[in-house]
Structure 1
Amino acid sequence: MALVIAGERSGVGKTTVTLALLASLCRRGGQVQSFKVGPDYIDPMFHQYVTGLACRNLDPVLTSEAYVQQCFAKHRQASEYALVEGVMGLFDGVMGSGTDDSQHPFTFASTAHIARLLDLPVVLVIDCSRLSGSVAAIAHGYCSFDPKIKIAGLVLNRVGSDRHLSLLKDALQSLQLPILGVLRRQDNITIPDRHLGLVPTGEISELDAVVERLADLGDTCFDWQSLLPLLDSQNSKLKTQNSKLSTQHSALSKVRIAVARDRAFNFYYQDNLDLLQQLGAELVFWSPLADAELPPNIQGMYFGGGFPEVFAEQLTKNTNVLQAVKTAIIQGMPTIAECGGLMYLCEKIIDFESKTYPMVGIIPTSACMDKRLTLGYRRAVALQDSLLVNAGTNIYGHEFHRSSLRANSHQPLFETYRYDCDENMGFEGWNLPINLHASYIHLHWGASIEIPQRFIQQCQSHRMCYSNVMT
Structure 2
Amino acid sequence: MKGLVIGGAQSGAGKTTFSLALLAALRKRGLRVRAFKVGPDFIDPGHHTLVTGTTSHNLDGWMLSKEENTAIYKRCAQDAQVTVVEGVMGLYDGFDPLGEAGSTAQMAKWLGLPVVLLTNAKAQSRSLAALAKGFFEFDPKLSWAGLVANQVGSPNHARILGKAMQAVPEFTFLGGLTRQADLAMPERHLGLVTALETGFSEELRERLVSWLENAVDLDLLLANLPEFDLPAAQTEAPPIDSSDKVRLGIAWDKAFCFYYQENLRRLEEAGAELVYFSPLQDKSLPAELDGLYLGGGYPELFSTELADNKSLKTEIAHLAAQGMPIYAECGGMMYLAQEISDPKGNSRPMTGVLPIKTTMLPRLRSLGYRTVRFTTDTVLGPAGTRARGHEFHYSEVTNTSESSSKINRAGSPGEGGLVNAYEVGSRKGPRPDTHGYCKQNVLASYVHLHFGSNPMLAPGFVSLMKGERKIA
Counterpart pick for 1:292 among 272, 283, 286: 283
Q: How many residues align?
A: 450
Cross-structure match for 1:217: 211
Larger deviation, residues 180-189 vs 356-365: 180-189
Match of 1:54, as an amino acid? Answer: T
Give the Å deviation of 1:131: 1.4
Give the Å deviation of 1:227: 2.1
Give the percent of matched residue pairs that are identical in Structure 1 and Structure 2: 40
> Residues 82 and 231 of structure 1 are in contact (CA less than 8 Å); yes or no, is this contact kept in structure 2?
no
- Which secondary structure state, in structure 1, belongs to the residue aligned with residue 25 of structure 2? helix
Match of 2:456, as an amino acid? Answer: E
- CA-to-aligned-CA distance 1:89-112 (integer Å, 9 cap, x gap): 0000124xxxxxxxx951111000
Cross-structure match for 1:260: 251
- Which secondary structure state, in structure 2, belongs to the residue aligned with residue 311 of structure 1? helix
* 1:194 counterpart = 2:171: no
> Residues 50 and 199 of structure 2 are in contact (CA less than 8 Å); yes or no, is this contact kept in structure 1?
no
Counterpart pick for 2:372 among 373, 380, 389: 380
Using the size of structure 2 for normalisation, the TM-score is: 0.91
Larger deviation, residues 48-57 vs 70-79: 70-79
Using the size of structure 1 for normalisation, the TM-score is: 0.91
Counterpart pick for 1:117 among 89, 107, 110: 110
Cross-structure match for 1:413: 421
* 1:437 counterpart = 2:443: yes
Cross-structure match for 1:100: none
Aligned-partner Cα distance in 2 for 1:53–1:287 = 22
Counterpart pick for 2:165 among 154, 159, 172: 172
* 1:326 counterpart = 2:317: yes
- Which secondary structure state, in structure 2, belongs to the residue aligned with residue 314 of structure 1? helix
Aligned-partner Cα distance in 2 for 1:58–1:194 = 24
Aligned-partner Cα distance in 2 for 1:266–1:194 = 16
Counterpart pick for 1:394 among 351, 364, 386: 386
- CA-to-aligned-CA distance 1:311-355 (integer Å, 9 cap, x gap): 000000000000001001111111110000000000000123421
> Residues 119 and 237 of structure 1 are in contact (CA less than 8 Å); yes or no, is this contact kept in structure 2?
no
Aligned-partner Cα distance in 2 for 1:362–1:354 = 21
Cross-structure match for 1:30: 31
Cross-structure match for 2:143: 150
- CA-to-aligned-CA distance 1:349-390 (integer Å, 9 cap, x gap): 012342100000011111111123310001112111111122
Aligned-partner Cα distance in 2 for 1:238–1:284 = 33
Give the Å deviation of 1:166: 3.0
Match of 2:392, as an amino acid? Answer: F
Counterpart pick for 2:130 among 125, 133, 137: 137
- Which secondary structure state, in structure 1, belongs to the residue aligned with residue 394 of structure 2? strand
Give the Å deviation of 1:224: 1.9
- Which secondary structure state, in structure 2, belongs to the residue aligned with residue 124 of structure 1? strand
Gaps of 5+ in 2: 409-418
- CA-to-aligned-CA distance 1:61-111 (integer Å, 9 cap, x gap): 22211111111112112111101000000000124xxxxxxxx95111100
> Residues 37 and 87 of structure 2 are in contact (CA less than 8 Å); yes or no, is this contact kept in structure 1?
yes
Match of 1:459, as an amino acid? Answer: M
- CA-to-aligned-CA distance 1:112-163 (integer Å, 9 cap, x gap): 0001111110000010113122111110000000000112210011110233
Counterpart pick for 1:455 among 429, 442, 461: 461
Gaps of 5+ in 1: 96-103, 465-471
> Residues 332 and 462 of structure 1 are in contact (CA less than 8 Å); yes or no, is this contact kept in structure 2?
no
**Pairwise CA RMSD:** 2.1
Aligned-partner Cα distance in 2 for 1:462–1:297 = 18
> Residues 146 and 221 of structure 2 are in contact (CA less than 8 Å); yes or no, is this contact kept in structure 1?
no
> Residues 379 and 442 of structure 2 are in contact (CA less than 8 Å); yes or no, is this contact kept in structure 1?
yes
Map residues 71-82 of structure 1 onto 2, 5 A cutoff. 71-82=72-83
Aligned-partner Cα distance in 2 for 1:137–1:334 = 56
> Residues 350 and 357 of structure 1 are in contact (CA less than 8 Å); yes or no, is this contact kept in structure 2?
yes
Aligned-partner Cα distance in 2 for 1:29–1:322 = 46
- Which secondary structure state, in structure 2, belongs to the residue aligned with residue 262 of structure 1? coil
